[in-house]
Amino acid sequence: MAGCGSEVSIEDREVPAGEAAVCRELLDDLPDTVAGAQRRSVSPDDALGAAWGDDPALVLECGTTMPASFDEFASCTVADGTQWFVPDDAAMEDLGADITVWSLGYEPVVQVRVPGVYRQRSDVVLKELGGPVTAELELVRPCS
């Protein structure tokens, strides 16, 4: 990810065709702005992800897997009706640190990388991205 306005690289991963189709629907439903940041081009063009804002960009990727730190006892954070997994080591006290959060209980899995420059508005980020997540993805495991 070079300078402002350049394409944001999204990892090219193997995703089953059915999940890829759901991810494409999600990408079509994502907003043009998130937390006041404009949507940017991604590379490759057919990536299952989206990005917003200057470098470092906010990045959403669809069809990912849960991190190694996730287990059945992990806490569930609900933001405006959408379930998210925020790792315990996400340095919640340091609002300048980058964090990554994952949709929790939905298929396919979505991951959102929130750079430290957006941490003060992370509640807005999760709200604005959560609407499309709950609208397009299937909730298979509600938080208890």
pTM: 0.92
The predicted pLDDT at position 1 comes to 33
Give me the pLDDT at residue 90, please.
67
- Splitting the chain (144 residues) into consecutive groups of 10 residues, what average pLDDT does each group show? 69 94 98 97 96 96 95 90 87 78 97 94 95 97 88
The pLDDT score that the predictor gives to residue 60 is: 98
pLDDT of residue 92: 65
Return the closest-CA partner of residue 58 out of 121, 113, 95: 113
The predicted structure's pLDDT at residue 95:
74
* pLDDT of amino acid 6: 86
Identify the pLDDT of residue 4: 52
Kind of pairing between the strands at 109-114 and 58-64: antiparallel
**Which pLDDT score, from 0 to 100, does residue 5 have?**
59
**What is the per-residue pLDDT for 73?**
86
How confident is the model at residue 96, as a pLDDT? 81
> Facing residues of 138 across strands?
107
Rounded alpha-carbon distances, angstroms, from residue 45 to 7, 12, 78: 9, 10, 31
Given this model, what pLDDT does residue 3 score?
43
CA angle 63, 102, 30 (to 5 degrees): 65
All structural domains of the chain with their residue ranges: 8-139
Q: How far from chain centre, in Å, is Cα 61?
A: 6
